[in-house]
């Protein structure tokens, strides 16, 4: 039996930009070890696996080394596959059962909107050695379940950062988000480093924006943002931090991330 595999560039409107993810459409569950081996074979920051379950799909995400609790760009890529390859009609929302609870997505023209849990942070002292490992002096550091969120003075400082990945790997967190206020038209910019899970730099990271949305909401006193992840490939994300009052109260504690995606190639797994 062959298994369909699609590679998608997520958070971009053009091939070879954004963040590539492999998406594997399964008829039913497969062993964890097999999924991890496929992710290692693909050697991308994430490989997504989905199969039918209840009123939607079970969705799992693997880096080449570990299974993740949440991944934005691979979810966006999976949604793109569901709609572009006829698994779901365009007007039907996608529903996923994941390690991070039930996630939903919908099509908005050429964009796909993901409904994810917000990931607020708490203030901490700047960890010893972090400035040296990053090669920049933090303006502020907070911590969340994903790792450290580090604010720098400017977008140029974020873009020009050349961290010591071996040093970053020693910190007891999955990842390190570096961010600053943006330059027009962007409200904020960011980069994401995760050498401890085998990803020195992730090109565009949806899960990081679940942390960035509440952080910049408190800083900028607004709930809607246009964000740019300033990796070499780059990516654009529309971000909506959940309102806790008024007509959008149902989105309290949630973050809506919108992006575009492009299929790069399709293939089949033979084993």
* pLDDT (tens digit per residue) in 47-87: 999 999 999 999 999 999 999 999 999 999 999 999 999 99
Q: Which H/E stretch holds residue 81? A: helix 72-84
Q: Which residues contact 243 (CB under 8 A, 6 or more apart)?
A: 223, 249, 251, 252
CA angle 100, 105, 107 (to 5 degrees): 165
Three-state secondary structure call for residue 98: strand
Q: Indicate whether 225 pLDDT > 90.
A: yes
Mean pLDDT of the chain: 95
Q: For the chain, what are the domain ranges? A: 3-116+259-269, 122-241
Q: Is 143 a catalytic residue?
A: no
The domain defined by 3-116+259-269 carries CATH number 3.10.310.10: yes
- φ, ψ of residue 262 to 5 degrees: the values are -135, 130
Q: Indicate whether 227 pLDDT > 80.
A: yes
Per-residue confidence (pLDDT) for residue 37, from 0 to 100: 98
Three-state secondary structure call for residue 118: coil
Active-site residue, selected from the candidate residues 28, 41, 46, 91: 46
In CATH terms, are 3-116+259-269 and 122-241 the same topology? yes
Per-residue confidence (pLDDT) for residue 244, from 0 to 100: 52
Residues of the chain with pLDDT > 70, as a percent, come to 96
What is the reported pTM?
0.92
Per-residue confidence (pLDDT) for residue 198, from 0 to 100: 86
Contact between residue 33 and residue 271 where contact means Cβ atoms under 8 Å apart: no
* pLDDT (tens digit per residue) in 195-217: 998 899 999 999 999 999 999 99
* pLDDT (tens digit per residue) in 86-140: 999 999 999 999 999 999 999 999 999 999 999 999 999 999 999 999 999 999 9
Work out the pLDDT band at 246, boundaries 50, 70, 90.
Answer: very low
Chosen CATH of 122-241 out of 3.40.50.460, 3.40.50.1980, 3.10.310.10, 3.30.300.130: 3.10.310.10
- Output the furthest CA–CA distance in the chain (Å, rounded): 54
Q: Indicate whether 245 pLDDT > 60.
A: no
Q: Which residues contact 65 (CB under 8 A, 6 or more apart)?
A: 40, 197, 198
């Amino acid at each position: 039996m062959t298994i369909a595999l699609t590679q998608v560039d997520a958070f971009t409107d053009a091939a070879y930009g954004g963040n590539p993810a492999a998406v594997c459409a399964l008829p039913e569950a497969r062993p964890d070890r097999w999924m991890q081996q496929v992710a290692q074979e693909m050697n991308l920051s994430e490989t997504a696996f989905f199969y039918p379950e209840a009123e939607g799909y079970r969705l799992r995400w693997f880096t080449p080394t570990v299974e993740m609790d949440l991944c934005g760009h691979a979810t966006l890529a999976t949604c793109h596959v569901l709609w572009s390859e006829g698994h779901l009609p365009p007007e039907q929302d996608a529903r996923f059962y994941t390690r991070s609870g039930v996630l939903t997505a919908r099509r908005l023209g050429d964009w796909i909107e993901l409904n994810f849990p917000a990931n607020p942070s708490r203030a901490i002292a700047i960890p010893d050695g972090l400035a040296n490992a990053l090669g920049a002096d933090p303006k502020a550091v907070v911590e969340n379940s994903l790792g450290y969120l580090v604010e720098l003075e400017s977008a140029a400082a974020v873009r020009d950062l050349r961290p010591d990945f071996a040093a970053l790997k020693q910190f007891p967190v999955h990842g390190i988000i570096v961010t600053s206020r943006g330059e027009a038209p962007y409200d904020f910019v960011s980069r994401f480093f995760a050498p401890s899970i085998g990803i020195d730099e992730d090109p565009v990271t949806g899960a990081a924006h679940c942390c960035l949305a509440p952080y910049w909401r408190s800083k900028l006193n607004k709930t809607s943002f246009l964000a740019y992840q300033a990796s070499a490939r780059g990516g654009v994300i529309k971000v909506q931090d959940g309102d806790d009052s008024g007509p959008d109260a149902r989105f309290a504690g949630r973050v809506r991330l919108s992006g575009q995606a492009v299929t790069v190639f399709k293939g089949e797994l033979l084993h």
